[in-house]
Amino acid sequence: MDSYTVFIAVDETRGLDDLPSDLDRTPLTVGSPEAVQAVTCDVCWISMYVSESSRVEASAVGEGDSCRMALRLAELIEPALPLE
């Protein structure tokens, strides 16, 4: 059985446009918000739009498909996002 460590982060001062420019980003949709996926140091991050100046991030690192786990986590929290 695969094992993962997962994180949820709320950034109230930076939106999707404020992500580091050197990240290799893949646009995606999680429910209704705009989102991007990036992988750094074996951690898969999914950053979801909340407003121009805020975002929520779901991330996972582990023995299996970290991006699959991060996406599942994002899908679970997306319905609770306070979209503009």
| DSSP state at residue 32 | S
Answer yes or no: are the C-beta atoms of 69 and 62 closer than 8 Å: yes
Provide the number of structural domains found in the chain.
1
Q: What is the mean pLDDT of the chain?
A: 91
Contacts of 78 (CB under 8 A, 6+ apart): 30, 31, 32, 33, 48
Q: List, for residues 15-39, the tens digit of each pLDDT value.
A: 999 998 888 899 999 987 799 999 9
Domain of 30 in residue numbering reads as 4-80
The DSSP bridge pattern shows strands 54-62 and 43-51 to be: antiparallel
State yes or no: pLDDT of 49 exceeds 90: yes
